[in-house]
Chains A and B, each alone.
Chain A
Amino acid sequence: MTASAARPLLEGHWTSESGGEGHAVFMAEGIHCANCARSIRRALDELPGVRRSEVNVAHGRVSVSWEPGRTDLGAILRRVAATGFRPVPLIGDAAAAAQKLERRAALKRIGLAAIGAMQLMMYAAGLWAGALQGIDPKIAEYLRWTCLLIATPVLFYSGAPILHGGLQDLRRRVLGMDVTVSLALLLAYGASAFNTMRGTGEVYFDSVAMFILFLLSGRYIEMRGRHQAASVTEALARSLPATVQRIDAVTGAVARAPLASVLEGDLLRVASGAVIPVDGSVIDGVALIDESLVTGESVPCRRGAGDALLGGSTNAGATFTMRAARRVDESTLHGLVRLLERAQGERPRLGIAAERMASWFVLRVLVLTALVGIVWLYVDPSMAMPAVLAVLVATCPCALSLATPVAIAAATARLAREGVLVVRADAVEGLATVDSVLLDKTGTLTVGRPEVTRVEVSCVEASYGEASRVEVSTGASPEPFTRHHALAIAAALERGSPHPIALAFRDHADPAIDCPDAHETAGFGLQGTVQGHVWRIGKPAFVRGLSTAVADDDLGAGVWLASDDGRSARFEIRDALRPDAADTVRALQQAGLEVRIASGDRPQTVADIAASLGLADAEGGMTPADKLARVRAAQAAGHRVLMVGDGINDGPVLAAADVSMAMGRGSPIAQAAGDLLLLRDSLAALPVAVRVARNALQRVRQNLRWAAGYNIAAIPLAALGFMPPWAAALGMSLSSLLVVFNARRSLDAGAADREHRR
């Protein structure tokens, strides 16, 4: 991809100029460690005109701010390319295609290494057996040449990324894990090839192939997670339409225009069900706007002429005309994207710590290896090569590097069976260490769909003067006008209505009761004829126009229904709690987690929900920024926060929390932004997930202890020459196997308790 080809894509959505500053976010292929990130950052900071640059290792994402006029995006992209990383636009097919190619190449490398390693092990077994029982030297030589033949493509094709990484590290004068690994691989391969040609001595080809296979597998797991994470912003961008219907101010003709070309003051037509492209205001018509994507508000609201509209919200009503107040890159949704980007940019401190530790470890291993080699050269030159190789192989952090990914992969598989999808590699680790849970309300604790929670019917004729109010729970109701009857009439009236309240009645429809002439008075309610009587449903003020049975002091979220013959009903409609919400909250508290609610919904509603769940700590009416501040404050107080939510407004908060979980049935954006996804429309898996993650982390710690123990025990043996390289490789493989089996235990434990449940 050339810089110029990347331009239109980038400048369409992902570059913007604000406050005299250009800003762009793109992906750079090949970033796999903190050192890569540092070198890109250094190269960009040296470029005149670049104000700020941030590189996110976890997502392979680069974000730059520059001074327009002194430099441009092309120069920045060229600079990144010159550093050895391929810049790729964040959105569109190019990024997906690049990821696909990267994934395929990695798979082929792993496949070749696996097949090669298998084959080499077989030949090596022959050589080992021969070493013990005696073997025809000719056959031994034949086997060694065969091994060389297979090991060569394995090292130079499969191992290419490792060797390349080691070379890059050396060029940048930093010590990464790749340096020692490459050194061990090249030394082992070189010595083996030399011995093969010489016709005598040890060969280590099988160790080379096995080593490469293990390393590549770990990296593949890591890469897949990164690819999934990169789709976040893509999803956000996709929630906006690519084109808009622009109305010519002079002729009034409607024409399609690209989203990026919308300017302040343009008149736009927004079709029913379409997404509002930019911030703006209603010009004519009454708009019914579903802002749940942007603000998390569950109930769509009505907007009349002159009222403000948020870009990214959905037109839940009829077609209307709006005036654009801002360009797309200055609109609220775009601001949310930025917030999301920034929050994500602040993450990878864990990776940096690991990298620093690896660098520390590598330096010591190299010094130790050199010392061992020098000492042996004086003591017994023939032992120098085996001892050096043994030390390099024995210190190979194979088991160390496998310890985490394997346990995490096992936990991931177990979680997937529970309906929890792990989107990011560090999510399991994060989930195991959280001590505080922040729950969103709408769509998380609640089902995100309005429901009738209470029906009061009254029949003025039946007991004139004192309307008998009957609650659902009591069961009794006056004969002529039952709760079911009221619900069925309401359902008939609301049948054709696009208003979300209509959803609440849909389940109560009765095919025998029909209302063919229902018509809507926007913002108030509906009127129609049912079974010979005129009925109205909606706001109290509207329904009062038909029947005085309606109380005019109704302050709650009540919907009224009344007929022209004095029958009336009041419905309370609420977004109902999930049936498993209370159990989930209790289970989380039992697991030692502090549970809180943070919601953008009305404070009173949130307080009610919190009270019914027995939670003291709940806050309503929060903006995304408030929630973000809340998470930050908890983190500053030393808490590790799990955020559970859905809706884009949670996106930045999800990204800033130590670990985040999104409801899979929520908006696609939140799905992508969460570290974990709840695939089932239920919270029950949440406490289970925490338990599985804690179990996995415990397994990781056990594995690390074992791997470190093996390395510490093996290094002196190897350095003193008691351990030939094949034994070091065998020990390394055994320690790796042990680690893998230990990690798999968590998977099997899961299978057992599944069996039990059945």
Chain B
Amino acid sequence: MNSIYLLIPLSLLLVGVAVWAFFWAVNRGQFESLEDPAEAALEEDPLSEDADPPRQ
């Protein structure tokens, strides 16, 4: 019966974590665009010296 006195603070903690995680994700721009990141993988990488290491 008294388990509820433990479980409810636990649920509050969980809510806190969920809200923190969501705010973190929003601030990191995770919801800015739901299409572009998926297509970003298809784009050319900017050329760089060591992007394609020569085969030995």
Contacts and interface: CB of A to CB of B under 8 A. Distances in A.
B26 A119 contact: no
Contacts of A142: 4-5, 8
Interface string B18-34: 11001100110001100
A122 B10 CA distance: 14
B4 A111 contact: no
A677 to B, nearest CB: 14
A111 B15 contact: no
Max chain B Cβ within 10 angstroms of own Cβ: one of A115, A116, A123, A143: A115
B51 interface: no
A365 interface: no
Nearest to A106: B26
A104 B27 contact: yes
A751 B42 CA distance: 27
> Which applies to chain B's interface (DSSP): helix, strand, loop or mixed?
helix
Of the candidates A103, A104, A143, the one having the most CB atoms from chain B within 10 angstroms of its own CB is A104
A313 to B, nearest CB: 30
A146 interface: yes
B11 interface: yes
B5 A115 contact: no
A418 B14 CA distance: 40
Contacts of B47: none
B12 interface: yes
Contacts of B12: 146, 149-150
Given A112-B19, A115-B19, A139-B4, A107 B11 contact: no
A504 B14 CA distance: 64
Contacts of B26: 104, 107-108, 111
A108 B23 contact: yes
A111 B23 contact: yes
Contacts of A111: 19, 22-23, 26
- How would you classify the secondary structure of chain A's contact residues: helix, strand, loop or mixed? helix
Contacts of A52: none
A100 interface: yes
Interface string A96-113: 000010011001100110
Contacts of B15: 115-116, 119, 150
Given A119-B15, A149-B12, A150-B12, A108 B32 contact: no
Interface string A101-145: 001100110011001100100110000000000001001001100
Given A100-B32, A115-B15, A108 B22 contact: yes
Nearest to B15: A119
Nearest to A107: B26
A119 B11 contact: yes
A112 B25 CA distance: 13
Contact of B8 (A107, A112, A115, A146): A146
Contacts of A100: 32
Contacts of A143: 8
Interface in A152-169: none
Interface residues of A, number: 19
A115 B18 contact: yes
A149 B15 CA distance: 12
B27 to A, nearest CB: 7
Nearest to B8: A146
A156 to B, nearest CB: 14
Contacts of A112: 19, 22
A104 B19 CA distance: 14
Q: Which among A112, A122, A136 has the highest number of chain B CB atoms within 10 Å?
A: A112
Contacts of B32: 100, 103
- Which of B11, B26, B27 has the most chain A CB atoms closer than 10 A to its own CB? B26
Contacts of B31: 104, 107
A198 B5 CA distance: 21
A170 B11 CA distance: 39
B53 to A, nearest CB: 36
A146 B6 CA distance: 12
Contacts of B1: 136
A142 B12 CA distance: 13
A100 B5 CA distance: 41
Nearest to B5: A142
B36 to A, nearest CB: 14
A122 B14 CA distance: 14
A100 B1 CA distance: 48
Contacts of A150: 12, 15
Contacts of B8: 123, 142-143, 146
B28 to A, nearest CB: 10
Contacts of A119: 11, 15
Interface in A342-360: none
A119 B10 CA distance: 12
Contacts of B19: 111-112, 115
Contacts of B27: 104
Contacts of A104: 26-27, 31
A103 B27 CA distance: 11
A123 B23 CA distance: 23
A133 to B, nearest CB: 14
Nearest to A114: B22
A150 B12 CA distance: 8
A116 B22 CA distance: 12
A712 to B, nearest CB: 37
A111 B11 CA distance: 17
Nearest to B22: A111
Contacts of B18: 115
B14 to A, nearest CB: 9
B1 to A, nearest CB: 8
A158 B18 CA distance: 15
A543 to B, nearest CB: 43
A749 B27 CA distance: 36
B17 to A, nearest CB: 10
A320 B18 CA distance: 62
A115 B18 CA distance: 8
A111 B8 CA distance: 21
Contacts of B11: 119, 122
A139 B31 CA distance: 39
Nearest to B14: A119
Contacts of A116: 15
Instruction: Name the residue in B1, B5, B8 with the highest tally of chain A Cβ atoms < 10 Å from its Cβ.
Output: B8
A146 B31 CA distance: 30
B19 to A, nearest CB: 6
Nearest to A112: B19
A321 B16 CA distance: 65
A342 B20 CA distance: 44
B22 A115 contact: yes
A146 B15 CA distance: 12
A103 B31 CA distance: 9
Instruction: Give the top 5 A-B pairs by smallest Cβ distance, nearest first.
Output: A111-B22, A107-B26, A115-B18, A119-B15, A104-B26
10 contacts: A104-B27, A108-B22, A111-B19, A115-B22, A119-B11, A123-B8, A146-B12, A149-B12, A150-B12, A150-B15
Given A104-B26, A112-B22, A119-B11, 19 more contacts: A104-B31, A107-B26, A107-B31, A108-B22, A108-B23, A108-B26, A111-B23, A111-B26, A115-B15, A115-B18, A115-B19, A115-B22, A116-B15, A119-B15, A122-B11, A123-B8, A136-B1, A143-B8, A146-B12
